[in-house]
Amino acid sequence: MTIPAGTQLGPYEIVALIGKGGMGEVYRARDPRLDRDVAIKVLLGAAAEDPERLSRFEREARAASALNHPNILIVHDVGSENGRPYLVTELLEGESLRELLDRGPLKTERALQLGTPIARGLAAAPGMGLVHRDLKPGKRLLTRDGGVGILAFGRGRVSEPLEGSGG
């Protein structure tokens, strides 16, 4: 069930649907308080009512919000409106690694350019007590400015932070 543009979700105004996944949908939205666009991941339908999926969603929000790394998506807010749990993050624009790979194999140099920041982001997660466990090219976003963002820690396993990690 797609949420129509103009719908208010908490203080955010839905602008457009930008993606769908196994647990819900992701929208571009406007945060009028800070005059910026954000991404909102919304659990819909059965996923919003399933205690296990809701728990996974909440775990993703907590885990991702604890991480502070330039290659990991920043979480701004979490909430629920009319039975719709949602997670608000920075809006990264670009293409997924899956979309890039669908066009053909990468040259070694390009693979290293992309793999290095992905590895750095993933290496930061265990230091904060999180193991990703759902590595897919579709969850790596290549931003328009050449950066790489790691999306979605929904299947992450939260454990004790590594000693000396500061987390």
Where in the sequence numbering do the catalytic residues fall? 134
> How far is CA 24 from its chain centroid?
12
In sequence order, the β-bridge partners of residue 89 are 39, 75
Q: How far apart are CA 85 and CA 62, in angstroms?
A: 14
Identity of the amino acid at 11: P
Which one, of 30, 54, 31, lies nearest residue 42 by Cα? 54
DSSP classification of residue 77: E
Ramachandran area for residue 94 (φ above 0: left; ψ -120 to 50: alpha; else beta): left
Q: What DSSP string runs through 9-63?
A: ETTEEEEEEEEE-SSEEEEEEEETTTTEEEEEEEE-THHHH-HHHHHHHHHHHHH
